[in-house]
Amino acid sequence: QQNKLNSFLWTIKRDPPSYFFGTIHVPYTRVWDFIPENSKKAFQQSHIVYFELDLTDPYTISALTSCQLLPQGENLQDVLPRDIYRRLKRHLEYVKLMMPSWMTPDQRGKGLYADYLFNAIAGNWERKRPVWVMLMVNSLTEVDIKSRGVPVLDLFLAQEAERLRKQTGAVEKVEEQCHPLNGLNFSQV
């Protein structure tokens, strides 16, 4: 029942009240039905909404893409052990081969092509840092591919906030997310 669900919504008692809502980075359609009405109502009644990052800002997307890259002149083949690099390359070849069968008729109807989708997700993978390649590989599953084209919960809420003409902002900068991940050593990754 909706009213029995944990809302992941905290109230900051002030006038007017502020709310803190914990999101998850998955397609919103996977979780939307499980978000309690009190959270949806707080969002609807809000005038100002802050997100972790501003995923509607082209600079944010560009900076996220740039921070994932190895230093100039380095490739993944240079930093990964040879056996892991070969396994990764074979796995990506398998994913590319399987991707057409993983796509939904709805995705095809919207003009998405498997090659385009693969390149959008895995393009330039040989220039990415190992931690970002790991995250990329984790998202290259049949279930994740079938939900491509559906915004993650954060982006969906940001798009809704813009549509409803709410004032928006971000509490973090890209660098605050990139530097800690890029600081992990190989054994940690």
**pLDDT tens series, the chain, 189 aa:** 555 556 678 888 888 888 888 877 888 998 898 888 888 999 999 999 999 998 888 999 999 999 999 999 999 999 999 999 999 999 999 999 999 999 999 988 888 889 989 998 998 999 999 999 999 999 899 998 998 888 899 999 999 999 999 999 999 999 998 999 988 887 887
Cα Rg of the chain (Å, integer): 19
Beta strands (DSSP E) in the chain are 9-12, 18-21, 48-51, 167-170
Q: Rounded to the nearest 5°, which phi and psi values hold at 37?
A: -60, -35
Q: Which residues sit opposite 48 in a β-bridge?
A: 167
The verdict on residue 154 lying in a domain is: yes
- The Cα–Cα gap between 169 and 2 comes to 29
How many structural domains does the chain have?
Answer: 1
Residue 56 in domain? yes
Give residue 134's pLDDT: 93
The residue behind tokens 């994740």 is 144
Q: Go through 39-65 and write b for each residue having 16 or more CB atoms within 10 A of its CB, e for each that does not.
A: beebbeebeebebebbbeeeebeebee
Are the beta carbons of 167 and 47 closer than 8 angstroms? Answer: yes
Hey, what are 100's tokens? 């057409």
Structural domain span for residue 162: 2-183
Query: Would residue 135 count as lying in a domain?
Result: yes
pLDDT of amino acid 56: 87
3-state DSSP assignment of residue 53: coil
91, part of any domain: yes
Q: Is residue 66 part of a domain?
A: yes
Domain presence at residue 51:
yes
Specify if 58 maps to a domain.
Answer: yes
Residue 100: inside a domain, yes or no?
yes
pTM equals: 0.79
SS3 128: strand
Q: Report the Cα–Cα distance between both ends of the chain, in Å, rounded.
A: 39
Position 2 scores a pLDDT of 55
Check if the beta carbon of residue 99 is closer than 8 Å to that of residue 84. Answer: no
- Tell me whether residue 106 is exposed, middle or buried, using C-beta atoms within 10 angstroms of its C-beta: 0 to 12, 13 to 18, 19 or more: exposed
